[in-house]
Amino acid sequence: MNKPLSRKTRFLIYLSLIIGFSLIISSIFFQQKEIYASCSVSCYPSASSCSLQNSPCGESQAGCASGRYEPPGKAYCCPFQVTCTCTPGACTGCTPVCASGQTTAVTGPLCVSGAVSSCTGSNGCTACTLTGSACYYLETNVTPSIPASISMIVEGTTYQLSINPLTPTRIKLPAVSSSNVQVSVPTFTAPPTSRGGGYYFQTNNYGVGDEWKTWTTCSGIAGEDFCSTVPNTNNTQNFVPTTKTVNQVLKEGATGKISGMYTTTDKCNNTYKYSLPVEGYYVVDTLPETQPIVIPPDITVNGCVSSTYTGSEINNPLHIEATTSDVNSNDEIQAFVLWLSKDSSVPTSTTITASYTGSTDADLGIMIRKNGSDWSNPSIYATNVALTWGPVTNGYVQINGENVIRIYDVSVTQTTNTLFDYKLEFLSNSSNMYGMYNVFGQSIDSYMINSNILDQSYISDLFNWGIDLTNPTVDNVTQQVQDPSNTELTWSTTDSTSGMLRTVMNGYRTGGTETDIAQLFLPATYTVNKGDLTLGALPLASEIGLFNDSNAWIFDNNTGETDILNIGTNEGGQIDIYVTAYDNACNTNSISEEIDLNPWFATRGGNVYSQNNISTTAKDVSDVTALDGVFNINTLMDKDHIDLGTELLATRNTSISTLIHSNLGAVQGALLYDSNNVKGYWFDILMSKFSQNIESSTSFENITTSIATDCPEGTSCYKYSEEDIAIPSGYVCDKPTLFVSKQNIYIEPNITSDLDTLSGCIFLAGNNIEILDGAHLSNGSVIEYDYIEGYMIAENQIIFPLVDEGESLRDGVEIFGGALALGLDPATGESAFSIKRNLRLFSQINPAVVLTYDNKYSNISTIFFGVEAPIYRQEVGFKSF
């Protein structure tokens, strides 16, 4: 049996229990505090046991140190359910790593795997996972290989560049204002280890003479260089200098280096790997040089020259000599282009086609092109209406279906240079070229022809050239007589194409009794003498109007004016004025004006007979008011009725004077048999007839003032003499009277008759009848006329000698009756009806002799000669109308 515990023992036991219980309670309380104090221990067994409670946690709950945010007055607490056996420490004991194929090295933002490096460690209580930095996939991109080649593309033509800087590749000079130039490398396929491939170019343009060769940056020394941007997936990229234009960089003779690289894009980042560069070298082609075109000098048959025009004769054909050379090689010269344009533009690029269909006159190109490998048979091209090129047939250029230019004598000679030599004949027709053209020219080398495309952008404006195949117009030269020595000459010329260059005025002399120089006075004061002109004989037509005639009046750039011609002391004959006009193309045209100084006579009614021919030509003076009132009132003659005859004008010659008023019923006949042409016939037969009727008339001797005075007894009278007879001025034939001289009869005006009775004088001379001067009547600017009433028959000549030589104005003579000159033996060179009265320049408008038929002499003639039929048949002149 157990021994009961002593009181002391029980006390000690109770005390121990109390202490133990206290220790237990203290231990539990302490454990709660530890949990609450720990910042790294989670609430066991699960953190999910934690909840947000009022702070501090209750006695039955422990604090939950989770590191979470605790609002003021709150705390995360967990039920006091688990007893922590240890305090966890930091997780250590390992180095975090990434999964296979990943790394903690930063390869790029595009390669973040999303994982974190980790390892299994311990926190002193349990195993734990230790994490490190983020994980990245590995970079797989590699450097691409170098491009195999590099090229430049100029306006569609590809030039593979030399990789040897000593032998650069020659490239075409880009057309003016062209930017159509690219750089290129072969394409490549990017490896799958990259995110794709691309191309990178870098240019170092040296310029001419290495002016920009030193590399600085991508923009170069003067903005001439450039670098392309990456990424760029185009293996062909534009050649774009930083600030300069393509033409400023790729100029004649310029050199440079183009570098091209492949690029690949990294997997993990927007970075690239570059291949080694392929470096190509270029040199820009130098254009062929064309020397100034030579047009050999030309001169017309008249001596006209022009260095700016083609006319119907001058520079036609137009001879073209174009000398070209190419510093690279003359073998490269392929063609020479000549372009004629009415404006200042030429297409910069043209197309060569297989056919020619015709041109336009506004823009026309002619090209001489190499045919094959040499110039032995060059091809000829011309532009179509659409300004494309086509080969012409037989060298003819057409407009509107008509041949307008013939291209011939084409030769091309190549030595140290290349000479193009050919001729252009401009043909005149309704479509011919005309006007002023801008002439352009260009030598073409092989680089300027790309397949069928011709680069004309560097064509040069050579010169201006005019084409005029039409003669100028010369209007009629008109006269306006001012006085016996001076007449106005009005002339005018026109040319609507090339304009007037020169007018040449020549003067020549035909016939006449006195020849002197002539002078031409210029407007407006008419005091300036253009020069003294020697009036020589009329030359051959080819010698008239010569361009540089030293014996001519020459007017340059003048389309016309009114000058005053002074004829000096020239008498009789004609002064022939020729006005020859030249336009700027040396085309010429001329017209002549006859200044007739020959006296002429006019008749109205009746018959006029002169052996051989009447050496005078009537003039149309129907509008000359100066003739109003100058003729005797008895004749009824006026300016509207002046002509050579109103019944018959006949001759045995082949030519005959013209009738002004032929519509009035006049008749002309040529090559007629002349029954009057029997020497000595008419004087003798009339004297025979007179002898049969002489008894009815009274003879008288003296000649004083009138028939009534000299023959007072008879009703009809006659005066017969073996010698000359002189009829004085003022004599009045107031009875039917016949004056007969076997020699000459001299009549001095004025001679009149009695108009109220059958009276008048018939003058019959075995040789000549001569009309003397009488009193001088003309004054001011009006020609007056001496006056004779009578009928004159001369076996030889009726002569009107030169009178009033000392007077500025000379008188004419008017006859009211009739006149027959039978021309028995006229003086050499003279006609039977010989007019030497010369009114000088007034001969242009005033007849020297005016004859009006008076029918009364038909009746008077019957008194002395009877009325036998032969008289009437022979048309001596007594026939009545």
Going by DSSP bridges, is the β-strand pair 486-494/473-474 parallel, antiparallel, or unpaired? antiparallel
Instruction: Name the residue with tokens 């090689």.
Output: 329
Answer yes or no: are the C-beta atoms of 586 and 525 closer than 8 Å.
no
- Burial per residue of 425-438, b for 16 or more beta-carbon CB atoms within 10 angstroms, e otherwise: bbbeeebbbbeebb
3-state class (DSSP) for residue 677:
coil
Backbone angles phi, psi at 842, to 5 degrees: -70, -10
Both 725 and 858 in one domain: the answer is: yes
> Which residues share a beta bridge with 796?
none
Both 379 and 462 in one domain: the answer is: yes
At 755 the pLDDT is 85
* Domain span including residue 197: 151-286
CATH of the domain at 587: 2.60.40.2410
Distance CA 48, CA 380 (A): 103
3-state class (DSSP) for residue 692:
helix
Terminal CA-CA length for the chain: 222
Which distant-in-sequence residues (6+ apart) come within 8 Å of 240 by Cβ?
A: 179, 226, 246
DSSP of 453-491, one letter per residue?
A: EEE-TT-EEEEEEEE--SPPEEPPPEEEEEETTEEEEEE
3-state class (DSSP) for residue 344:
coil
Distance CA 185, CA 165 (A): 18
Both 479 and 456 in one domain: the answer is: no
Distance CA 413, CA 415 (A): 7
Distance CA 239, CA 862 (A): 120
Answer yes or no: are the C-beta atoms of 653 and 674 closer than 8 Å.
no
Distance CA 447, CA 157 (A): 9
Both 738 and 807 in one domain: the answer is: yes
At 646 the pLDDT is 42
Going by DSSP bridges, is the β-strand pair 500-510/74-79 parallel, antiparallel, or unpaired? unpaired
Distance CA 703, CA 705 (A): 7
Cα-based distances in Å from 96 to 90, 138, 285: 14, 17, 67
Distance CA 359, CA 397 (A): 7
Residues of the chain with pLDDT under 50: 1-2, 19, 21-46, 82, 644, 646-656, 660-677, 869-881
For every residue of 13-76, which 3-state class applies, written as one string?
Answer: HHHHHHHHHHHHHHHHHHHHHHHHHCCCCCCCCCHHHCEEEECCCCCCEEECCCCCCCCCCEEE
Is 614 part of a structural domain of the chain? no
What is the identity of the amino acid at 232?
Answer: N
DSSP of 550-617, one letter per residue?
A: SSSEEEES--EEEEEEE-TT-BSSEEEEEEEEEETT--EEEEEEEEE-S--EEEESS-EEESS-----
135: DSSP letter: E
198: tokens are 């691309």
682: DSSP letter: H
Distance of CA 680 to the CA centre of its chain: 75
767: DSSP letter: S
Question: What total of structural domains would you count in the chain?
Answer: 5
What is the identity of the amino acid at 873?
Answer: R
Cα-based distances in Å from 510 to 92, 658, 800: 145, 19, 21
At 85 the pLDDT is 62
Both 382 and 480 in one domain: the answer is: no
Backbone angles phi, psi at 270, to 5 degrees: -85, 55
At 74 the pLDDT is 80
Both 708 and 833 in one domain: the answer is: yes
Is 497 part of a structural domain of the chain? yes
> Which residues share a beta bridge with 265?
272
Both 375 and 450 in one domain: the answer is: yes
Which distant-in-sequence residues (6+ apart) come within 8 Å of 816 by Cβ?
A: 632, 634, 635, 787, 788, 789, 790, 851, 852, 854
Is 133 part of a structural domain of the chain? yes
Both 209 and 309 in one domain: the answer is: no
Distance CA 873, CA 685 (A): 14
Residue 281 parent element (H or E) = strand 278-284
Final residue belonging to a domain, choices 596, 614, 632: 596
| Length of the chain measured in residues | 881
At 673 the pLDDT is 40
Distance CA 264, CA 141 (A): 7
Is 650 part of a structural domain of the chain? no
pTM, to two decimals: 0.74
Is 146 part of a structural domain of the chain? no
Residue 258 parent element (H or E) = strand 255-265
Both 280 and 298 in one domain: the answer is: no
Is 485 part of a structural domain of the chain? yes
Final residue belonging to a domain, choices 256, 286, 316: 286
Distance CA 520, CA 270 (A): 98
Distance CA 328, CA 287 (A): 9
Instruction: Give the orientation angle of helix 856-865 with respect to helix 681-693, to 10 degrees.
Output: 70
At 59 the pLDDT is 54
Instruction: Name the residue with tokens 């990789």.
Output: 163
At 62 the pLDDT is 59
At 45 the pLDDT is 46
Distance CA 29, CA 540 (A): 158
Answer yes or no: are the C-beta atoms of 431 and 405 closer than 8 Å.
no
At 543 the pLDDT is 96
Is 438 part of a structural domain of the chain? yes
At 880 the pLDDT is 30
Distance CA 118, CA 102 (A): 12
Distance CA 356, CA 393 (A): 8
Both 700 and 833 in one domain: the answer is: yes
Both 401 and 492 in one domain: the answer is: no
Is 448 part of a structural domain of the chain? yes
Cβ neighbours around 254 below 10 Å, total = 23
Final residue belonging to a domain, choices 426, 452, 467: 467
Answer yes or no: are the C-beta atoms of 328 and 366 closer than 8 Å.
no
Both 494 and 564 in one domain: the answer is: yes
At 656 the pLDDT is 44
At 558 the pLDDT is 96
310: tokens are 């083609």
Distance of CA 546 to the CA centre of its chain: 28
Query: Is the link from the previous residue into 45 a cis peptide, with omega within 30 of 0?
Result: yes
Strands (E), 342-417: 349-351, 363-371, 374-383, 389-391, 396-399, 402-414
pLDDT in tens, 117-145: 999 999 988 999 999 999 999 999 999 99
